[in-house]
Amino acid sequence: MNHITTPEGIRLAYERMGNRNDPAVILIMGLGAQMRIWPDALCHALVSKGYQVVRFDNRDVGLSSQMDQHGNPSLLATWLSTKLKRKPRVPYTLKDMARDVLALMDELDIDSAHLVGASMGGMIAQILAAKHKKRVRSLTSIMSSNTSPGLPDAKLKVLLKLAKRPTPFNREAAIRYTMRMNRLIGSPAYPMDEMELRALAETSVERSASPTGFKRQLVAITAAGDRSNLLKKIKVPTLVIHGSDDPLIPARMGEDTAAAIRKAKLKIISGMGHDLPPLLVPELVKLLSKHLKKSEKRWDKKQQKALLKQSRKDTAETSETSETVESDPLQHIPQEIDRTSAEVIKLPRQHA
């Protein structure tokens, strides 16, 4: 497992797959979810199509820094502050988490990348696409939202169950809790069997399980408020993927996200919930491959156009300099010499 340390001192665990000279795809996971939730099959499929893939643990989850010094914040107090349009006091924000992604890119020498974010990860990717255009080649927002007012909030019953974790939170209790939550938010048309659910839960629990870390991330999401105006600034090619049966973030929120972003493409997958089950991977690979390929071509054309423009500018500047020199060959004579009264010094003849 590799780590980088951000300028803020946050350690981020990450995995990098594929050829480092290939275009980068950065996978940003959601609330309380570790990088391993991104299916290996999905990552390997993208690598086989000519991309390098980077997945990582957000702060407060997995093997990245646990922000326990910030304690256990109040979700209710944060929610009330946003409703009253007051700035909530939170351990960190989604913007801070977006800066973590930039720090990761800097450390890995990735100038620009295709961003793929799921749930909270989609929110982080949206912020980056809007605020750091030169570093984002394309955006894919999966089962995410812009928390626009007037739309249905995430179902309260589901959120309350997610926030309430068993006590004591030992290994077996953590595994049972994770399996129960994955059933609750899972995809009806792409169900995982008990062995798959347990394997996924065990992988997460063995790496790390932080109940308060989950709460701090949930508070950051709640404090983010509405991003509708921010999404209007996104100009990169955007694909919005959402499940018709998402019990946590309703499909209507995905539709609103796509509507807020200029020329965004929307794909509602029938029977998909709020997860990335193995049975859904082939469809996700198909959608992502098409979107990334078109976006990469657009990016290349944009870069070639910028290079051509710069080349013409450099040529014009060189031409102007040459014309100036030719029109006034004495321009480089030091200023202290009076060019109009310069004396001609006759040298004595030399005899053979």
pLDDT by residue (tens digit) across 56-94?
Answer: 999 999 999 999 898 888 878 887 887 777 888 899 999
Determine if residue 339 is left, alpha or beta; phi over 0 gives left, psi from -120 to 50 gives alpha, anything else beta.
Answer: alpha
Residue predicted with more confidence, 20 or 315? 20
Which of 133, 135, 125 lies closest to 105, judged by CA?
135
| pTM of the predicted structure, to 2 decimals | 0.85
C-alpha separations of 36 from 40, 45, 117, 220 in Å: 8, 15, 14, 22
At 42 the three-state DSSP class reads helix
Could you count the other beta carbons within 10 Å of the beta carbon of residue 35? 24
At 93 the three-state DSSP class reads coil
pLDDT at 351: 46
Look at the chain and report how many structural domains it folds into. Answer: 1
Give the DSSP H/E element, type plus range, for residue 77.
helix 75-83
Q: Is residue 332 part of a domain?
A: no
d(CA 172, CA 205): 9
pLDDT at 1 over 70: yes
Residue percentage of the chain with pLDDT more than 90: 62
3-state DSSP percent of the chain in helix, strand and coil, to 5: 50, 15, 40
Strands 24-28 and 11-17: unpaired
Please identify which residue in the block is written with the tokens 């499929």. Answer: 45
Q: Is residue 146 part of a domain?
A: yes
Domain harbouring 221, CATH code: 3.40.50.1820
d(CA 244, CA 265): 16
Any residues with CB less than 8 A from the CB of 252 and at least 6 apart, and which? Answer: 151, 152
- What is the DSSP secondary-structure string of 186-200? S-TTS---HHHHHHH
Q: Is residue 154 part of a domain?
A: yes
> How many residues would you count in the chain?
352
Q: Is residue 99 part of a domain?
A: yes
C-alpha separations of 207 from 5, 57, 101 in Å: 19, 11, 21
Rounding to the nearest 10 degrees, give the CA dihedral for residues 95, 129, 276, 47.
-120
Any residues with CB less than 8 A from the CB of 26 and at least 6 apart, and which? Answer: 54, 55, 56, 101, 104, 105, 110, 113, 114, 115, 116
Mean pLDDT (the chain) is: 87
Output DSSP code: residue 69.
G
pLDDT at 325: 52
C-alpha separations of 260 from 238, 266, 328 in Å: 11, 11, 58
Domain that holds residue 190: 2-305
pLDDT at 162: 64
pLDDT by residue (tens digit) across 271-329?
Answer: 999 999 999 999 999 999 999 999 999 999 988 988 888 888 877 777 666 665 555 55
Q: Is residue 341 part of a domain?
A: no
Strands 238-243 and 136-142: parallel
Q: Is residue 315 part of a domain?
A: no
Q: Is residue 10 part of a domain?
A: yes
pLDDT at 160: 60
Question: Using N-to-C axis directions, what is the helix angle for 171-185 and 194-207, rounded to 10°?
Answer: 130
pLDDT by residue (tens digit) across 153-176?
Answer: 555 566 666 666 666 567 888 888
Q: What is the mean pLDDT of residues 176-197?
A: 92
Q: Is residue 60 part of a domain?
A: yes
